[in-house]
C-alpha cells in the first residue's frame, strides 16, 4: 500500500478513538513502560508530547519524573533535519514549534542522542518486525542513523502506539531505523 494512503488511513483510526480509549491507553502505557528493564535501569529517557491522536504520554512523563528519571523531549531546530533532545522540567513552560508541537525552550539542557538510555517514539503505524511509519519527514531516522546495523551503539528505540496502529507489514527503506520494540496499551512487542 502507498505510504501516504496508509498514513492517512491509520491516522484516521487513531483520531477516531474516544477520549476514554485515549485515556485508558495513556494510563496503561505508563504502567507497562515502567516495568521494562530499559526504564527501570536507565536514567535518561526521551519521549514526546502527544498530538493528533498519538498514544498519550502525560501519565508516563509524570511517572518517569517521579521515578527520578531525566526526561527529554525532541526539539526541531531549523534548518537542521535532525532532532535535538532537551530536558523537560515541570516548572519550565513549553513552547509551540512550527508544526504546532510542544517542546522545551531552546535554553533547556540538551543531551546528545547517543547518551540517551531509551527513546519512546511516536509513530503512525508499525509492524512486528520493528518497522515504523512516521509522518514522513525522517527526523527520527536521521537522528538515530548511527544505530542502523548496530543497535547497541545507542539507546533502545521503542515505539508507543495504540493497538489499531499495527499493520501486517511495512516496507522498510534503506534509511529507516528499526525499533527494538513497540508498546501499546495492551501489549509489549519485541521486534523480530
- Taking only the tens place, the pLDDT of each residue in 89-105 is 999 999 998 888 899 99
Residue 77 grid coordinates = 531546530
Bridge pairing between strands 156-161 and 70-76:
unpaired
Asked whether residue 192 carries a pLDDT value surpassing 70, the answer given is no
Residue-level pLDDT at 173:
87
Domain borders along the chain are 3-190
Bridge pairing between strands 156-161 and 118-121:
parallel
- The label of the residue with cell 514526546 reads 48
- The winner for highest mean pLDDT among 39-53, 140-154, 160-174 is 160-174
Q: Which residues of 87-121 are buried (b: 16+ CB within 10 A; e: fewer)?
A: bbeeeeeeeeeeeebebbeeebeeeebeebbbbbb
Distance CA 78, CA 105 (A): 14
When pLDDT is averaged across residues 42-54 and rounded to a whole number, the result is 93
Question: What CATH number is given for 3-190 in this structure?
Answer: 3.40.50.10420
- Name the more confident of 152 and 108: 108
pTM of the model: 0.93
Asked whether residue 40 carries a pLDDT value surpassing 70, the answer given is no
Residue-level pLDDT at 41:
64
Amino acid at each position: 500500500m502507498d505510504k501516504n494512503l496508509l498514513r492517512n488511513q491509520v491516522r484516521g483510526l487513531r483520531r477516531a478513538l474516544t477520549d476514554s480509549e485515549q485515556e485508558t491507553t495513556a494510563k496503561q502505557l505508563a504502567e507497562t513502560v515502567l516495568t521494562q528493564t530499559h526504564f527501570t535501569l536507565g536514567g535518561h529517557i526521551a519521549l514526546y508530547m502527544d498530538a493528533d491522536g498519538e498514544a498519550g504520554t502525560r501519565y508516563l512523563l509524570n511517572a518517569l519524573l517521579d521515578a527520578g528519571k531525566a526526561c527529554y523531549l525532541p526539539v526541531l531546530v531549523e534548518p537542521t533535519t535532525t532532532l535535538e533532545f532537551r530536558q523537560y522540567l515541570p516548572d519550565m513552560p513549553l513552547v509551540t514549534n512550527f508544526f504546532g508541537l510542544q517542546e522545551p525552550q531552546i535554553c533547556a539542557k540538551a543531551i546528545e542522542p547517543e547518551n540517551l538510555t531509551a527513546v519512546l517514539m511516536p509513530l503512525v503505524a508499525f509492524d512486528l518486525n520493528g518497522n515504523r511509519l512516521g509522518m514522513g519527514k525522517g527526523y527520527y531516522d536521521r537522528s538515530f542513523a548511527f544505530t542502523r546495523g548496530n543497535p547497541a551503539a545507542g539507546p533502545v528505540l521503542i515505539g508507543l502506539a495504540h493497538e489499531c496502529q499495527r499493520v501486517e507489514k511495512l516496507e522498510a527503506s534503506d534509511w529507516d531505523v528499526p525499533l527494538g520494540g513497540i508498546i501499546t496499551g495492551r501489549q509489549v512487542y519485541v521486534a523480530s
